[in-house]
Amino acid sequence: MNSGTMIDCPSCGATNRRGSHFCNECGQPMPAQTSLRCPECGAANPIGNTYCDQCNARLTRGLMPSGGDEQPESAGQEEEAPSGLLAQLDRSGRQRSGSAQAPSGAGQSFGVPEWLRDLEAEAGGRGEPGAGLSVGQPDEPPVAAADLYAAKPAMPASPSGDIGGMADWLAEPEPGDIGAGIGDRQEQFPESAAAQPPPAFGPSEVPDWLLEMAPPEIVGRKPAAEPTQSAAPPAAPRPAPPGAAEIPDWLLDVAPPDVAAPAAAPAGVDELPERRLQEPAGAGLHDIPDWLSDIGADTVPFAGEGAGVGGPTEEQVPEVLAPDSFGVPDWLSDIAPDEVSGGPEAAEADEWPEQRPPGPAAPGPAEVPDWLAEIAADESDLLPELTDEPDLSAMLADAAAAATATEGVGLPDWLQDLEPDSGAAEIQPGEAPPPALPTAPAEAEGVPDWLRAVDAGASGAPVAAPAGGAHAAQVPDWLTDLRPEDTVEEGPPVSAAVGPLGPPPGTGPVEAAIPEWLQAMREQQQSPGVAPEDEPVETTGLLEGLRGVIPAQSIEVPAPLPEVAPEVGEAAAARAQLLQSLLVPAGEKAPVEARKREVSTGERIARWLVFAVVVLPIAVVVGWPVFAGESEVLILTEPQSASAEDLFEAIEGLEAGDVALVAFEYGPAEAGELGVLAKPILWHLEEKGAVIWVRTTRSDGQALADALRVDMSITEQYTPTYGSSAYVPGGAVGVARALARCDRQDPGSDPSECPDIVLVLAGQMAPLQWWVEQVQARDIRPPVVAAVGASVVPAANPYLAANGGRIAGLVGGLAGAAAYEAQLGNVLSPTTRMLNGLAAGHLTVAALMVVGALFYGLTGSRRRQGQ
Amino acid sequence: MTEGGTLTEAIGAAIGAGLTLLIFSYMLGDNPLYRLALHIFLGILIGYSFGVVVRDILFIRLLEPLAERKWEFFVPLLLAIVLMTKGVRRQAYIGNMATGLLIGVGTAVALSGALLGTLIPQVAATGRAMAVGGADLSQLDGWLLVGRGALVVLGTVCALMAFYFTAHKQRGLAGLWSRLVALAGGAGRLFLTSAFAAAFAGALTSALSLLAERLYRIIDFFARLLTPS
């Protein structure tokens, strides 16, 4: 319940502080009007108040149509109690024009249409001027707002048909009827109802809610089952929400007189509330638009079932009928004449209480919305002089034109429908032209009293047209307040049909924009020399469509700093180079040097030249005897070596049956040299009758041994015999295993199985070392002789016994082989030819080295001088 | 080609001569023929080595004893399997034991042989070179013997001094010693350079020997073809 400082949210019921625009719990917009403005004195009262705190005027109004029997009273009531906004305004107009029946509380003057005035006149002629809804008697005790909406099965019937402030017909409106007012009139004036032809008003042009109020014979519907009079107890009225405001009179009987008359007698006044409250079958009361329902359940008298969501359209006319005769919705109350605005209407309003005819105190006029009051105050000069018979339609049209010039925001649909087809009304783009309001016939049947009263009052009381017209009226403040702060600035114009919840469907999304409060937080950095509007628009990402979010900045590449070479002394540079040479591993340099480069033609020629110089002499020397026949061989060197003699002597000392362990420790690449060297030694061993054991630590050693034997059988016509052949892997460990029989400490060893001599045929130094060292590590140390390649001789010389080593004899290279063959007496062996070729090669290489050294020695000095 | 040479021998000789020429083509630069001969040589070598290892080591020295139920040979089999884990980086630590055993045994065998066969004899020989007391200095041979001995000792010491890099300039007696060490190191580098030069000469001689032998083979082959036997 709304209190003085707190108000309840109409959506979720949460308590919010007065003045809040949005609910803190659900976020729904709060009713803009958080207080009721007294129509009498203009003071702000809490919404829950029924009477003004200042002047005790009644704040909320109910809709109570008066029955036919109550015409005089209703007329009186109509005079003394302005039941509807229009009536109130009409009364104000009458007051302005000096009418005695000027109603009170009118803040603005509305022009009553002709058809309405005709109805009023007719009703007035029949003694029921302004017969319509009347609010509770002023003498009646105030009724709590909650009671007004309470479902009361039976309410005390009053002569005027009021039921504790709420008309019976308003309590339980029945479907199928347009309005109680019309029905009442028909009841009251059956003659006129029968005489009057049914209004020619198409159902497509009249809002449904209005059609529901019309008599069945007007709209061609099946009449209600039993139209009940005020005497009949009304059906249980639908409990209206608390704080419902009365439906303006002029709003209820908007239906033109040419509306099809209902088939049956109109429902009694008691049924109007039901008709208005209940959703009729088939036709269906139009749903209360969301903008109306969300404004406040406490103010909106009736949010019908199936209220439409998304706001009303032009076709939808919000259901504004309030079952409660006391409560006037805020939005509707705002439409009421505003006495606070201080216009002439206010002065007129003040006069109303004095001019009020005796009788029940007229209830306070409904509050005129601010937007309407402002327009009326501002555009008062635009409004035509009100005559006794103001032209409501013209006023509406003028006001519409004026409002269009100001803001151009349309009125709600229900208000738009009030305006007759006026060409001056500005239609919002995209909106269908509103249906032309039907003009009431001069003698309309079933004109409700309240409407008649309005019409009667309109004779003297000019009713100013709503500011801005029915279509293009400015947005009321209460509506503006409901609008979110971050409303899109650019977008389709909001029509009158647009509710506070947003644009009507179909308008589509609105381009987003940065709210002002967010823009204020943005850094004031703009691209130099670029106007905000000229800044580029973001095309991708989350900022797509926005401008100036990221200021465009030119990318300036800083100028590189000038490189200043440090001054380094020569000594420091030399130390740096030395350090670099020590730090950089040698392997890192190899890839750079080993980088393959293209061979130029000069290099190719040089290669061919070197090949020819080196190869040709050797080939000539080696091949000369072959082509020249068995001539004397040019022997450049005489093979003679002391070490070869020692080897010869060592083998010569063997006896038949001695074991000679021959270690084949060279590979295929060295087989050309070592094979030549091994042949005479093996032949000598074979000649001595020694048993040759072949041992090798290489996997291909045995193959080389076999190949040597085959070659000897071909070239020497001699095939040596191998006693055994074995592969002993593991390097020194394998050699040690091979010599295991030479250890007397080995339990399985047999000294007789220890070789008598070890001949090592090595192409590398390492295998020779293994054999020499391992033999020295044995208990039985047979003599070790070696036949090595020319490259191993320098490293093997320290191991000679003559030099303190353990090698008894050593021959190396082709020279050693030639020398050994000379020892054997074979001088013209192929080895000698190859040795001559080797000698020729030596001479060639030596000559090249001397020539190159002289060449670079002479030219190098010039190159250094040039540098 | 000798009399009675068979066709297979001739074919073998021809193939050998052809491959030899392909290898010699490297003197003209890297070329596909050289690479062809090289690939053939390496492929045959690796294949034959693999076959020898499998036959002589795996089958004869491991599987046959195991087949004879000599269970002590299960240990080298286990060690061999464990050693193969060295190929997998994550499980390489498993073969550390087998690797340690190999290195340990080999180091032990090599160390004993190096001491007995190289270090001690070489030191003894150097000492004997200094023993010039028995030299007849009245003869040239005596002086050559002494000179040779001194040269050996001097060369040995100086070569060792060449690997002394921590000497730095100092004053006084220490500085004199540093300068002496630097001088000996320089001489040692000369000896080392001479030794390297002799090694280079030997390698060159070996290469030329191989060239001569190969040329002899090729010329003899063609001579036999051209000269009817």
Using an 8 Å CB-CB cutoff, list chain A residues near B57.
727, 729
The amino acid at residue A387 is T
Cβ of B209 and A772 within 8 Å?
no
Q: Is the pLDDT of residue A320 over 50?
A: no
Average confidence score pLDDT of chain A = 65
CA dihedral B22, B26, B30, B34 (to 10 degrees): 20
With H, G, I as helix, E, B as strand and everything else as coil, classify residue A53. coil
Q: A304: pLDDT confidence band, cut at 50, 70 and 90?
A: very low
Give domain limits for chain B: 137-229
More confident position, B87 or A356: B87
Largest CA distance in chain B: 83
CA distance linking residue A205 with residue A237, whole number of Å? 29
CA distance linking residue A810 with residue A254, whole number of Å? 140
Q: Which of residues 786-845 of A touch B (CB under 8 A)?
A: 789-795, 798-799, 803-806, 812-814, 830, 833-835, 837-838, 841-842, 845
B147 touches chain A (CB under 8 A): no
| Kind of pairing between the strands at A784-788 and A757-762 | parallel
pLDDT at residue number A131: 43
The arithmetic mean of pLDDT across residues A102-130, rounded, is: 58
Using an 8 Å CB-CB cutoff, list chain B residues near A608.
28
More confident position, A69 or B95: B95
For the four alpha carbons of A188, A192, A194 and A200, in that order, the dihedral sign comes to: negative
- Assign residue A109 a region: left if phi > 0, alpha if psi is -120 to 50, beta otherwise? beta
Q: Which of residues 405-444 of A touch B (CB under 8 A)?
A: none
B114 touches chain A (CB under 8 A): yes
Q: Is the pLDDT of residue A792 over 80?
A: yes
Hey, of A727, A770, A810, which one would you mutate to test binding to chain B, going by the most B CBs within 10 A of its CB?
A: A727
DSSP class per residue in A549-611 = SS------PPPPPPP-PPP--HHHHHHHHHHHHHHS-HHHHHHHHT---PPPHHHHHHHHHHH
Q: A44 forms bridges with which residues in the sheet?
A: A37
Cβ of B117 and A842 within 8 Å?
no
Hey, of A609, A770, A838, A848, which one would you mutate to test binding to chain B, going by the most B CBs within 10 A of its CB?
A: A838
Nearest Cβ partner of B208 from A703, A812, A842?
A: A842
Sheet holding A659-665, edge to edge: A722-727, A691-696, A659-665, A757-762, A784-788, A807-812
The amino acid at residue A121 is A
Instruction: Mean pLDDT check: name the lowest of A95-109, B57-71, B198-212.
Output: A95-109
Give the pLDDT confidence of B162-202 residue by residue, as tens digits: 888 765 667 788 788 888 888 888 899 999 999 999 999 99
Hey, of A742, A743, A773, A848, which one would you mutate to test binding to chain B, going by the most B CBs within 10 A of its CB?
A: A773
Q: Is the pLDDT of residue A441 over 50?
A: no
Of residues A840, A822, A824, A696, the one with CA closest to residue A759 = A696
**A:B CB pairs within 8 Å:** 180
B208 touches chain A (CB under 8 A): yes
Cβ of B9 and A736 within 8 Å?
no
Q: A693 forms bridges with which residues in the sheet?
A: A661, A724
Instruction: Mean pLDDT check: name the lowest of A531-535, A621-625, A668-672, B58-62.
Output: A531-535
Distance from CA of B82 to the nearest CA of A (A): 18
CA distance linking residue B99 with residue B187, whole number of Å? 42
Question: H or E segment at A832?
Answer: helix A830-866
Of residues A647, A807, A787, the one with CA closest to residue B121 = A807
B139 touches chain A (CB under 8 A): no
Q: A6 forms bridges with which residues in the sheet?
A: A17
CA distance linking residue A366 with residue A380, whole number of Å? 20
pLDDT at residue number A121: 77
- Total residues belonging to chain B: 229
Of residues A669, A761, A293, A438, the one with CA closest to residue B23 = A669
DSSP state of A666: -
B107 touches chain A (CB under 8 A): no
Residues with Cβ within 8 Å of A821's Cβ and at least 6 positions away in sequence, in order, are A639, A680, A827, A829, A831, A832
Using an 8 Å CB-CB cutoff, list chain A residues near B214.
672
Cβ of B216 and A833 within 8 Å?
yes
Using an 8 Å CB-CB cutoff, list chain A residues near B213.
672-673, 676, 814, 834
CA distance linking residue A187 with residue A177, whole number of Å? 13
8 Å CB contact between A134 and A160: yes
Residue linked to tokens 């006023």: A395
A699 touches chain B (CB under 8 A): yes
Of residues A245, A329, A248, the one with CA closest to residue A84 = A248
pLDDT at residue number A600: 79
pLDDT at residue number A276: 43
pLDDT at residue number A392: 56
With H, G, I as helix, E, B as strand and everything else as coil, classify residue A547. strand
Structure tokens at A674: 């070592």
Q: Is the pLDDT of residue B160 over 80?
A: yes
B53 touches chain A (CB under 8 A): yes
Using an 8 Å CB-CB cutoff, list chain A residues near B124.
804
8 Å CB contact between A416 and A321: no
Cβ of A841 and B49 within 8 Å?
no
* pTM for the full predicted model: 0.48
Q: Which of residues 627-666 of A touch B (CB under 8 A)?
A: 627
Nearest Cβ partner of B28 from A608, A792, A812?
A: A608
Alpha helices by DSSP H, listed for A269-362, are 272-277, 290-293, 330-333, 344-355
Q: A7 forms bridges with which residues in the sheet?
A: A16
Structure tokens at A98: 């000096």
pLDDT at residue number B43: 93
| Prediction ipTM score | 0.87
Q: Is the pLDDT of residue A519 over 50?
A: yes
Cβ of B205 and A626 within 8 Å?
no
DSSP class per residue in A127-160 = T-TT-SB----TTSPP--HHHHHS--S---B-TT
Hey, of B35, B213, B224, which one would you mutate to test binding to chain A, going by the most A CBs within 10 A of its CB?
A: B213
More confident position, A570 or A495: A570
B151 touches chain A (CB under 8 A): no
Give the pLDDT confidence of A703-744 residue by residue, as tens digits: 999 989 988 887 777 788 888 888 998 889 999 988 887 876
B204 touches chain A (CB under 8 A): yes
Distance from CA of A619 to the nearest CA of B (A): 6
B141 touches chain A (CB under 8 A): no
Using an 8 Å CB-CB cutoff, list chain B residues near A729.
53, 57
Question: H or E segment at A758?
Answer: strand A757-762
CA distance linking residue A798 with residue A796, whole number of Å? 6
pLDDT at residue number B152: 82
Cβ of B27 and A611 within 8 Å?
yes
Crossing angle of helices A85-96 and A449-458, rounded to 10°:
30
Q: A279: pLDDT confidence band, cut at 50, 70 and 90?
A: very low
The amino acid at residue A88 is Q
8 Å CB contact between B53 and B71: no
8 Å CB contact between A68 and A41: no
Cβ of B210 and A736 within 8 Å?
no
- Report the percent of chain A where pLDDT is more than 90: 7
Using alpha carbons only, give the angle A834, A837, A840 rounded to the nearest 5 degrees. Answer: 155
B5 touches chain A (CB under 8 A): yes
Using an 8 Å CB-CB cutoff, list chain B residues near A717.
2
pLDDT at residue number B36: 93
pLDDT at residue number A108: 42
Of residues A379, A421, A420, A370, the one with CA closest to residue A401 = A379
In a 13 Å sphere around the CA of A855, the CA atoms on its Cβ side amount to 6
Give the pLDDT confidence of A204-252 residue by residue, as tens digits: 556 677 767 666 665 554 444 444 444 444 444 444 444 445 566 766 6
Q: A660 forms bridges with which residues in the sheet?
A: A692, A757
Distance from CA of A566 to the nearest CA of B (A): 30
Question: Which residue in chain B has the smallest CA separation from A700?
Answer: B49
| Kind of pairing between the strands at A15-17 and A6-8 | antiparallel
